[in-house]
Amino acid sequence: MAEVDPAFLALPFRRLGEVALARAADLGAGHADFRFERIRSQRILVRDGSPQGVADAETVGFAVRVVHRGAWGFAAGVVLTEEEARRVAETAIAVAEVAATMTTTPVVLAPEPVHDDVTWVSSYVIDPFAVATADKTAVLADWTVRLCRGAAVDHASASLLAVLENKYYADLAGTRTTQQRVRLQPGFEAMGGTSEVFDSMASIAPPSGRGWEYVVGDGPDAWDWDAELAEVPDLLADKLKAPSVEAGRYDLVIHPSNLWLTIHESIGHATELDRALGYEANYAGTSFATPDQVGVLRYGSPVMHVTGDRTVEHGLATIGYDDDGVATQEWDIVRDGTLVGFQLDRPMAALMPELSVDGDGRSNGCAYADSPGHIPIQRMANVSLQPAADGPSTEDLIGRVERGLYVVGDKSWSIDMQRFNFQFTGQRFFAIADGRLAGQVRDVAYQATTTDFWGSMEAVGGPETWLLGGAFNCGKAQPGQVAAVSHGCPSALFRDVRILNTTQEGGQ
């Protein structure tokens, strides 16, 4: 088990927190919390065997958030002195004083037990920042060289994004948490074309809350990069020769590398309670799934079981304690096809306590800020479709289909502001004929409403088909914030889904 970086522990966050919280209390804050962060990131880009760029960044700073006179106040700073900690606390109180004159509903925070001086570190083996940049670049360069040996590959690129996030939280109630998590997004893409068509084929490896062992290891924590690098050039060659799909209605078997994104857009965002209540309406939209439909809305078929989970190992949204000081949890969002829950932070849980996990009014730990300069907001948990305990393999699901498509890898997507009408494309589409794969087809998108699509899900695969996908770049709020989130799912079978020919739809 990794330990918190000593360089972070040497920073004066405890003393700054004591000073800031004491000043906020002296000025009458009913609630005050202090958050200190150090975020390190590195991005490496390689093309055709040659490095294209390396970008390193580090953010260090702190924030004070208060509830005063029934309103939020927030301020942040980057100068690590006691004088600055007092000033930031005073500014947060001053902001609350102004906000109180415009706040019609007083801010209330759901109750949470005190977590006194606890430490949490994510599950990884090799800190990517302890590996020489030259060594990481060499791995990526080798990937592109190997890809370019394929006859159909004209160019190849590879990239790596690594993040090391440290965070200290303290509040007037007595909670103090020190946390560290690592996340990694490696990937590659091969590109090629003919006189008539140009296309690409990318890795389907998901980003992960793992360390460098995900790239170079040979155990359960590593992706099989060698196998994927060997097959992608041939897959690209087949894709370039593949016929254009005939639009119509098809049965679909969808691999987790594609289905995770549909979960993110049509379930993950739709069940954020702040969005469902209209708090995101002027920026990111609302939701067709509203709180009055809990226990009533048929979100999907009876085989649909979706959880929110900020504790799953290697999840991108996994953490021990959220930015409200809440111990993270797992809970049901959709059970047996019916909407049963939402994602909550402390203000949302206090607003609608009946939606909490046990009906006790407690948050399920969904507060997060992407930097010390931003206020925490309700963010998405790892929202995942659960497999069937004795469910079929992907091959068995394909075997149930007479005429259909097998969908692998994500690509573009579109969904409306209520998360109801959507269409998704993918990396690879294979025709299914009489239970067998029958070569690739091109220009495919599947289109549906959220409830029709999930209602058409006839079967989910077993645990061996389950994969934790996700993204680093989920956006929300004003000012905008970006968060990483994972979505696990098995392979799944959907019946009679509308398929579009994207070339025809584009008028080409």
Handedness of CA 3, 54, 132, 139 (dihedral sign): positive
> pLDDT digit string (tens) for 82-137?
999 999 999 999 999 999 999 999 999 999 999 999 999 999 999 999 999 999 99
Model confidence at 508: pLDDT above 70: no
Q: How many helices (H) and strands (E) does the chain have?
A: 12, 24
> pLDDT digit string (tens) for 39-65?
999 999 999 999 999 999 999 999 999
Beta bridge partners of 385: 306
Confidence of residue 22 (pLDDT cuts 50, 70, 90): very high
228 burial via Cβ count (<10 Å: 0-12, 13-18, 19+): middle
> pLDDT digit string (tens) for 140-175?
999 999 999 999 999 999 999 999 999 999 999 999
> pLDDT digit string (tens) for 167-192?
999 999 999 999 999 999 999 999 99
Residues of the chain with CATH 3.30.2290.10: 6-241
Architecture of the 6-241 domain: 2-Layer Sandwich (3.30)
Specify the pLDDT at position 219. Answer: 84
Instruction: Provide the CA 477 distance to its chain's centre, in angstroms.
Output: 15
Share of the chain above pLDDT 70, in %: 100
The residue with greater pLDDT, 343 or 284, is 343
Q: Residues with Cβ < 8 Å from 178, sequence gap 6 or more?
A: 4, 9, 117, 118, 119, 120, 166, 167, 168
Model confidence at 221: pLDDT above 90: no
> pLDDT digit string (tens) for 265-310?
999 999 999 999 999 998 889 999 999 999 999 999 999 999 999 9
Three-state DSSP state, 22: helix
Specify the pLDDT at position 293. Answer: 97
Region 412-432: mean pLDDT is 97
What length does the chain have?
508
Specify the pLDDT at position 399. Answer: 98
Model confidence at 506: pLDDT above 90: no
Residues 432, 497 contacting (CB under 8 angstroms): no
